[in-house]
Structure 1
Amino acid sequence: MLNQLRRIKQRAIWSWAGFLHVYRTEGSLMQWLVANVISGGLAIALPLGTAETALLLMGGVMVLAAECVNTAIERVVDDISTEIRDAARQAKDCGSAAVAVTAVAVGVAWVVILIGLVRG
Structure 2
Amino acid sequence: MWQQIMRVRQRAIWSWEGFVHVWRTEGSLAQWVVANVVFGILAFVLPLSAGERGMLLMGGIIILGVECMNTAIERVVDDIGTERRDAAKQAKDCGSAAVAVTAIGVGVGWVCVLVGLAV
Shared fold (TM-score, shorter chain, > 0.5): yes
TM-score by length of 2: 0.99
Over 3 Å off, 4+ runs: none
Aligned-partner SS, 1:95: helix
Aligned match of 1:9: 9
Q: Which stretches in structure 2 are left out of the alignment for 5+ residues?
A: none
Per-residue deviation at 1:14?
0.1
- Per the normalisation by structure 1, the TM-score is 0.99
Deviation at 1:83, TM superposition (A): 0.6
Aligned partner of 2:14: which letter? W
1:71 is displaced (CA, Å) by 0.1
Match of 1:80 in 2: 80
Tell me what 1:24 maps to: 24
Partner of 2:59: 59
Matched position secondary structure for 2:116? helix
Structure 1, unaligned runs of 5 or more:
none
Separation (CA, whole Å) in 2 of partners of 1:54 and 1:24: 28
What is aligned with 1:118?
118
- Quote the RMSD (CA, aligned, Å): 0.3
Q: CA deviation at 1:7?
A: 0.2
Deviation string, structure 1 residues 30-85 (Cα, Å, up to 9, x no partner) = 00000000111101110000000000000000000000000000000000000100
Residues in 2 aligned to 1:31 and 1:8: alpha-carbon distance in whole angstroms: 29
Q: Amino acid of the residue matched to residue 54 of structure 1? A: G
Equivalence for 1:38: 38
Identity %: 67
